[in-house]
Amino acid sequence: MRAVARMDRLILHIDLDCFYAAVEARDNPDYKNKPLIVGADPKGGEGRGVVSTCSYEARKFGIHSAMPISKAYRLCPDAIFVRPNFNKYKEASDRVMEIIQGYSLIFQRGGIDEAYLDVSENCSNFKQAKSIAEQIQEEIYDKIGVTCSIGCAPTKSIAKIASDYNKPNGITVIEPEDINHFLENMDITKIPGIGKKTKKYYNEKGINKIGDILSTPLPKMIELFGKYGKWVWEVAHGLDKRPVNEYHNRKSISKERTFHQDIDDFNDIFINLETLNDRIHKKLQQDNISYRTITIKIRFEGFETFTRSKSLSYPIQDKQQAMGIVTELLEEFSNKKRKIRLVGIKFSNLLQNETTKQTTLLNYVY
């Protein structure tokens, strides 16, 4: 017998369509309905950096977010290339979020271009929830000038999957009795958290479609994949119980630096990591956020990328201690005689509005 989804929640996931590109096209009518790429300067195909986002017209050429800008240029040299203006995008995003929050007190911002809304208290059925979704779409377009796609479902995870189903400017409603049919033929990467690397591991075990998860008993999923097997099984069966809550809206905070030219001077690399660490900690202190896990990212020439992490048993907010851990993680790569293209730092396992432990000598015993 298959599990039955909870029926007492009506959750919307609002996803702004190609947000950066949409804001640029809003402000520059000549960009509309054309291949538009927001990202680094392509420099005639020799540029460094990546695509931040692109319009749907650009996606028809195979271009996507995080693609090297040089490859995007080769795929579509006639595209319009625009450098990102994050202050403008943040302003537009803040105005969008203000609109969304007007429809329910139970709101969670999922990033600059997405949000969740629990409208269970406002609506008694999915028809009413869809009506709210239509009002949100209309108000965002009228006031901000961009479109969004909205998924409506009994859980956050299925609402998120649904918002991606009918883009752009679509609304997809998935009621509890329709969940299995909606999901069964989808690739498992549609489940939030399953990426390309994880997908290979599931495929090796015979799990290719979400329907394979639906037909696998829970004990077998746990046997094959551990606690995460339980999580994806619950998502597929509409049993994701996570609440819509602003407290849970961010899992990590990170910054990266792509060098204009590959470098091999580890003193320069250290200085850049130190700068990134300082910048992140300004934000952490501002928002009173502590963390338990520190990760560094190293990308060598040729795009070979490594990450290394260290987790503490308690949350901290201490840039000196964090830099000590970064230095420790960096040591592994100090003797490699290869140039480096990119470095980054990420802090995860975040805690907000918690009392951060005071640093003592014992804290430095990692």
Strands (E), 11-135: 11-16, 36-39, 51-54, 80-82, 107-111, 114-118
Q: Residue 172 is which amino acid?
A: T
- Cβ partners under 8 Å of residue 18, min gap 6: 53, 54, 55, 56, 168
Q: How far is CA 13 from CA 6, 109, 159, 201, in A?
A: 17, 10, 5, 28
Q: Choose the catalytic residue: 24, 114, 175, 234.
A: 114
Rounded CA gap, 351 and 291, in Å?
6
114 is catalytic: yes
Rounded CA gap, 161 and 174, in Å?
10
What's CA 1's distance to the chain center, in Å?
34
Q: Confirm if 263 and 31 have CB atoms less than 8 A apart.
A: no
Q: Which residues of 155-181 are buried (b: 16+ CB within 10 A; e: fewer)?
A: bbbbbbbbbeeeeeebbbbbbbeebbe
CA dihedral 204, 208, 211, 212 (to 10 degrees): -10
Residue 238 sits at the vertex; the CA angle it makes with 206 and 207, to the nearest 5 degrees, is 5
Q: Confirm if 87 and 1 have CB atoms less than 8 A apart.
A: no
**Residue 252: φ, ψ to 5°:** -160, 165
- Reading phi first (left if > 0) and then psi (alpha if -120 to 50, else beta), residue 46 is in alpha
Residues annotated as catalytic (active site), given as ranges: 114
